[in-house]
Each structure stands twice: as structure tokens, then as C-alpha cells.
Structure 1
Amino acid sequence: MGFPLLTILGGLVLFQSKHFLFDFVFQTSYQLKNKGTYAHPGGILHAGLHAAGSLPAIYLFSPSATMVAGLVVAEFVIHYHMDWLKERVVRVNGLTNKDATFWHIFGIDQLVHNLTYTAMLTVLLAQV
């Protein structure tokens, strides 16, 4: 038993589409400028919106309240800390989008987020 490949790919598309929307379309300047200050409500809001935005993809594979809660909390914690770390590295080193290192750090940030979705799907599929 298990999910058809197209369903699995659909879940990945949902995660990645959500990521694009909440990182590039709906992210406000308030969220963006405050993600580098630990425990600032702007960074918490940003990570919280990401975690909540993953609910459709999670529900596609598991209606279990425990599984849903665990994955939402895990995504929040990982997303929040990755964004905070990225912003700290950029600020401490005075990096701008004209620096190659800025883009390396940005790419690592995006890779970690996408690997998080892969891990979340793996956990969900392992429960089947």
C-alpha cells in the first residue's frame, strides 16, 4: 500500500508553492527586517505562517492530530532558526546582495527549507 507517485509529487508541489508564497509574495517588510532579532514577533510570525501554510500538504497524507502537530512544530522551529541564522550571518558580516557570499547563504537557507519539506514527506510516507 502507499500513495501514488503523483500524490507524493503533488504534496511536494504544495510545500514548494507555499514556500514561494510565504517567502516571496506575502512576506512583509516587518517580517523581513526583524527575522535576525531572536524571539522578535516578526520572525515568529513569518515562521508561524510557513508552518500553518503547510497544513494542506500535511493533511493530504495524514489526518492524525499528533502527526500534524508534530510536523507543524518541527517546521516552525527549523524555519525560524534557519531564517534567524541566515539573517545573523548576513548582518554580522555586512553582506549585501552584491556579495557572492550573500547568495551562498541565501541558497543554503532555501536548500534547508526544501530539505525540510522532503523530510516532512518522508515522515508522512513512513507512517503509511
Structure 2
Amino acid sequence: MLDINTALVLMALLQTKHMVADFYLQTPRMLADRRLYIHRGRALHCLIHAAGSALACLLVGLPFILLCAVASLDWALHYHIDFGKGLWSARAGDTPDDASYWRAFGADQLLHQLTYVALVWGAAQF
């Protein structure tokens, strides 16, 4: 079971990883055609997230099996959250000039952060 300090460090690392992967490492290919379910750019984007999550788990000393579980769940959940946002935005025709774009963006980011809360909670239960 994780102590509170380790859990908080893991949460901070996951949030930092999220900022870097979502706001610095996304390419136009990752952002194009987001309404499609099968999407290599999104898969690569989520792989970057999974690798960052694995690194965060490694840095706090989680067991390898738990590291793999966290990284795999992060990949799958991130993929589907991003697909949902991409599909919603494509159907709505939202642009950054629309308030609904920012509501969808905020909901997307909230779901990612709640994913990290759940992953840290799950790791703490291991």
C-alpha cells in the first residue's frame, strides 16, 4: 500500500506527464481526424501517455506488474476519452471560438485528471 507522500508524488508526476504529453508533444497527425475510432495518431499519443505513466510509477518504486497495469489502463482510458472528445467536437463543428469547445475541452481534462485519481487510488490498494 502506498503511503500518502508516495501517492501525492505519483499524482504530481502523472499530472506533469499529462501536461507535457498533451500540450508539448502532440503533433498535427495526432490531432487530425479525431472523430475516427481507429486512429494511429491517437494510439501514438496514448502510447506517449502510457510511457510517461510507466516512468512515473518507476520513479516512485511501484512493482513492475503494477507499473504495467497503470500504464495499460492509462493508455486505454486516454484513448477512449480523447475519442469521445474528438467525436463530440467533430459532430458539433466546434472551434476555439465556441463556448461548447471549451466545455468539451474542460470535460476532457477533468476525465483525464479523474483517471489519475483512480489510478493512484488503485495503486494504493495493491
TM-score (norm 1): 0.90
TM-score (norm 2): 0.91
Report the secondary structure of 1:39's partner residue: coil
User: Cα distance, 1:68 vs. partner?
Assistant: 2.1
Q: Does 1:62 align with 2:62?
A: yes
Report the secondary structure of 1:52's partner residue: helix
CA contact (8 A) 1:36 1:43 kept: no
Once residues 15 and 32 of structure 1 are traced to their aligned partners in structure 2, the CA distance between those partners, rounded to angstroms, is 21
Question: What percentage of aligned pairs have identical amino acids?
Answer: 35
CA contact (8 A) 1:61 1:125 kept: no
Once residues 77 and 35 of structure 1 are traced to their aligned partners in structure 2, the CA distance between those partners, rounded to angstroms, is 16
Q: Which gives a bigger RCO, structure 1 or 2 (Cα 8 Å, sep 6+)?
A: 2
Once residues 81 and 2 of structure 1 are traced to their aligned partners in structure 2, the CA distance between those partners, rounded to angstroms, is 28
Aligned length in residues? 125
Distance change in 2, residues 1:108/1:61 (3 Å): farther
1:1-128 pair list within 5 angstroms:
2-3=2-3, 5-59=4-58, 60-65=60-65, 67-127=66-126
CA contact (8 A) 1:50 1:76 kept: yes
Once residues 12 and 69 of structure 2 are traced to their aligned partners in structure 1, the CA distance between those partners, rounded to angstroms, is 21
Letter of the structure 2 residue corresponding to residue 52 of structure 1: A
User: Cα distance, 1:2 vs. partner?
Assistant: 4.5
Once residues 21 and 57 of structure 2 are traced to their aligned partners in structure 1, the CA distance between those partners, rounded to angstroms, is 17
Structure 2: gaps (5+ residues):
none
1:3-36 residue CA offsets vs partner (Å, 9 max, x unmatched): 2x33322111100000000000111111111433
Once residues 19 and 117 of structure 1 are traced to their aligned partners in structure 2, the CA distance between those partners, rounded to angstroms, is 10
Structure 1: gaps (5+ residues):
none
